[in-house]
């Protein structure tokens, strides 16, 4: 009988990060996949990053994960989003080669020491006394392991829907997972039914691009991985277009054939990425909706039509696509479809992503109710780290909400849960000015090094950046030449009665950037553009950053107050009934986590604080 330290079920973005983390931390690991051709498959849009998701991808990289490295190898176009807004909401987004992304990630997995890959279907989780002992496959084979990480994505009992046509399969025609859902249900897990969807893929040669607005990539900007040495080239442009009233009328006339409204779809869909028919119904006052044309890979003419997902019948899809200006003669290569799948309630998990009831069983990715490659990869990395730490007797690795978007993501899942596919957004992070795209390495690389995932090459890059930042800090408060200060202030129309004396004071002026200061005073020698931008941000937002750090300290006081897992909440006088029920069900680990549970009010937290004080 075969035996491993750990088994990872599923080879999507969560499974890849979990398996690599476990193997790189010295655990003999098996990664199982339904199909080797679906490893790291970009089932929906061919992109990595986006609003808040770019932060997740760079945080994965800073901790020693693989997503950023792999994305940079396969970039077709790179852009920084929200550059017209504050730095807190700017996020990196890349169009990547779908085939290349799969291929290079598979190569990485196959060459990783301590990691084996097997194409098979896991149908049952084997346990003994509520402790994982292995898995059983559809072949009837039992494989033993001391820890199991489940990363099944959208494949568990999945069903694809186009009009009144359905098929029991996974994305892109891949086989689905059957049986594992029942096994988890038998172990006591609450099973939810969610839905997501994807638009059609069309032939680039059948598009009239003159009727679309071209969107080019950005040059010389930050990449996802701090290990990337060569700046990626923007190979392709994206294109912006719009639906119109004719499109909407076709949809409205066929709503009775839409599975979303006919009752054929029972799963809950994502609020922030609705289908086109859902948009037309929900936003009936809108006369048009944006669509984006994105190249899927460099080797063929397949175009992804972002913003045009649907589950309408194939004949209706052809009509509504061809109603768009520039799509009059468009050819659909793959129809849009909806997909339903099983997932678990994330409230059954600890912040380590380990099950509360079955020891050494971890969950990561869309099985936890999330959507998105980056959310999946982040969870996979944390689940892999914590599974390794559990096996090796080390302390759990938990990032709090002030340390990383990853911390916000996981805390939301295990504390608040989700009743629809969850996606990360900058608005979910209370301390987003501290959690910027440009400082993920400064926040997390040392943490990744301490764990053992940040290699020497990545760590050397981090130390050099840290050295450059420190060299800039040393000269920020040096006295500058008064006449040159006056000249630069006049140039940027910032002259006032009180002249700034130092570079720090000068940079607080809104119109003056660090590059002008560098050129005028010849300071900050041998410092990279990336570091100069980072230093400028730290100076210009210094007051706001200090305020956020004070809020973080206040938050951490509550986080440091532990709650005994055996507290009898029903006996605490003064707690409202709803609070008692929620606290009893979720069993928060700290007073801080309790305060973020939906249905637990500030008054309940005050009662709980008094109870803890009197008990102490």
Coil, strand or helix: which one is 48? strand
Residues, the chain, total? 616
Q: Identify which of 526, 524, 486 has the alpha carbon closest to the alpha carbon of residue 506.
A: 486
Q: Where are the domains of the chain?
A: 3-195+341-449, 198-340, 455-548, 561-615
Which residue's entry shows tokens 């984006």? Answer: 292
pLDDT tens, position by position, 506-561: 999 989 999 999 999 999 988 999 999 999 999 999 999 999 999 999 888 888 89
Nearest CA-CA partner of 298 in 77, 479, 79, 462: 77
Spatial CA neighbour of 158 closest among 114, 198, 201, 101? 198
Q: How high is the pLDDT of residue 220?
A: 86
pLDDT value of residue 272: 80
| Residue range 455-548 in CATH 1.10.10.10 | no
**Phi-psi sector, 65: left (phi>0), alpha (psi -120 to 50), beta:** beta
**Contacts by 123-129 with C-beta closer than 8 Å and gap 24+?**
123/178, 123/179, 123/180, 123/183, 124/179, 124/180, 124/183, 125/150, 125/180, 125/183, 125/184, 125/187, 125/358, 125/361, 127/187, 127/358, 127/361
Task: Write down the number of H helices and E strands in the chain.
Answer: 21, 19
Q: Which residue stretches of 112-194 are H helix?
A: 180-186
Contact between 161 and 259 under an 8 Å Cβ cutoff? The reply is yes
Give the alpha-carbon dihedral of 144, 120, 12, 146, to 10 degrees.
0
Query: What residues pair up with 479 in beta bridges, in sequence order?
Result: 502
Which architecture does CATH list for 561-615?
A: Orthogonal Bundle (1.10)
Handedness of CA 173, 179, 183, 185 (dihedral sign): positive
What Rg value do the Cα atoms of the chain yield, rounded?
A: 26
Whole-angstrom distance, CA of residue 166 vs CA of residue 510 = 57
CATH number for the domain formed by residue range(s) 198-340: 2.40.30.260
User: 507-520, pLDDT tens digit by residue?
Assistant: 999 899 999 999 99
* Residue 133: C-alpha distances to residues 137, 197, 359 (Å): 14, 35, 10
Greatest pairwise CA separation for the chain in angstroms? 83
Region of 524 on the Ramachandran plot (φ > 0 left; ψ -120 to 50 alpha; else beta): left
pLDDT computed for residue 525 by the predictor: 85
Residue among 546, 541, 404, 548 at smallest CA distance from 87: 541
**Do residues 158 and 170 lie in contact, with contact meaning Cβ atoms separated by under 8 Å?**
yes
DSSP string, 368-386: GTB-SHHHHHHHHHHHHHH
Residues of the chain with confidence (pLDDT) below 70: none
Q: Which top CATH class is 3-195+341-449?
A: alpha beta
Alpha carbon 392 to its chain centroid, in Å, reads 27
Which phi and psi angles does 33 have, rounded to 5°?
A: -145, 145
Task: Compute CA 328 distance to the chain's CA centroid, rounded to the nearest angstrom.
Answer: 36
**What pLDDT score was predicted for residue 261?**
84
How do the residues of the chain divide into helix, strand and coil, expressed in percent and rounded to 5? Answer: 40, 20, 40
């Amino acid at each position: 009988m075969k035996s491993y330290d750990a088994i990872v079920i599923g080879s999507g973005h969560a499974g890849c990060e979990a398996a690599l983390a476990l193997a790189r931390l010295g655990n003999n690991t098996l990664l199982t996949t339904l199909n080797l051709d679906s490893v790291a498959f970009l089932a929906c849009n061919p992109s990595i990053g986006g609003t808040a998701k770019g932060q997740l991808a760079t945080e994965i990289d800073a901790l020693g994960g693989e997503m950023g490295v792999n994305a940079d190898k396969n970039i077709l176009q790179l852009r920084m989003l929200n550059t017209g807004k504050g730095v807190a909401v700017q996020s990196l987004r890349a169009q990547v080669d779908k085939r290349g992304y799969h291929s290079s990630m598979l190569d990485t997995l196959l060459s990783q020491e301590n990691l084996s890959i097997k194409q098979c279907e896991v149908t049952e989780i084997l346990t003994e006394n509520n402790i994982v002992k292995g898995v059983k496959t559809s072949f009837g084979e039992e494989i033993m392991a001391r820890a199991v990480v489940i990363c099944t994505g959208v494949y568990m009992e999945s069903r694809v829907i186009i009009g009144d046509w359905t098929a029991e399969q996974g994305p892109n025609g891949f086989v689905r997972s059957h049986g594992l859902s029942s096994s988890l249900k038998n172990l006591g897990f609450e099973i939810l039914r969610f839905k997501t969807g994807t638009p059609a893929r069309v032939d680039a040669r059948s598009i009239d691009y003159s009727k679309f607005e071209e969107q080019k990539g950005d040059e010389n900007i930050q990449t996802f991985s701090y290990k990337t040495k060569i700046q990626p080239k923007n190979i392709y442009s994206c294109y912006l277009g719009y639906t119109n009233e004719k499109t909407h009328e076709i949809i409205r006339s066929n709503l009775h054939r839409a599975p979303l409204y006919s009752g054929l779809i029972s799963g809950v869909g994502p609020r922030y990425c609705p289908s086109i028919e859902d948009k037309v119904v929900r936003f009936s006052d809108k006369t048009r909706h944006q669509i984006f044309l994105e190249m899927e890979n460099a080797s063929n003419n397949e175009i992804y039509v972002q913003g045009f997902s649907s589950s309408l019948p194939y004949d209706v899809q052809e009509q509504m696509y061809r109603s768009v200006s520039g799509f009059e003669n468009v050819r659909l290569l793959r129809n849009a479809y909806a997909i339903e799948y099983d997932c678990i309630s994330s409230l059954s998990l600890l912040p380590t992503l380990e099950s509360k009831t079955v020891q050494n069983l971890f969950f990561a990715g869309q099985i936890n109710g999330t959507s998105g490659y980056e959310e999946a990869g982040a969870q996979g990395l944390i689940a892999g780290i914590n599974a390794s730490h559990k096996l090796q007797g080390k302390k759990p690795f938990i990032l709090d909400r002030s340390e990383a978007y990853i911390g916000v993501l996981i805390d939301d899942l295990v504390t608040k849960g989700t009743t629809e596919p969850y996606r990360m957004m900058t608005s979910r992070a209370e301390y987003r000015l501290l959690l910027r795209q440009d400082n993920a390495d400064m926040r997390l690389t040392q943490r990744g090094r301490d764990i053992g995932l940040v290699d020497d090459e990545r760590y050397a890059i981090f130390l050099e950046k840290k050295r450059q930042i420190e060299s800039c800090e040393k000269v920020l408060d040096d006295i500058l030449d008064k006449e040159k200060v006056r000249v630069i202030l006049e140039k940027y129309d910032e002259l006032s009665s009180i002249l700034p004396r130092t570079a720090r004071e000068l940079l607080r002026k809104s119109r003056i950037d660090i590059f002008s200061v560098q050129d005028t005073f010849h300071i900050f020698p041998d410092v990279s553009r990336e570091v100069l931008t980072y230093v400028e941000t730290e100076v210009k937002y210094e007051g706001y950053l200090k305020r956020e750090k004070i809020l973080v300290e206040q938050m951490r006081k509550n986080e440091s107050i532990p709650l005994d897992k055996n507290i009898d909440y029903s006996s605490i006088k003064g707690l409202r009934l709803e609070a008692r029920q929620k606290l009893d069900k979720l069993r928060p680990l700290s007073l801080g986590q309790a305060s973020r549970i939906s249905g637990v009010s500030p008054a309940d937290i005050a009662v709980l604080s008094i109870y803890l004080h009197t008990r102490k």
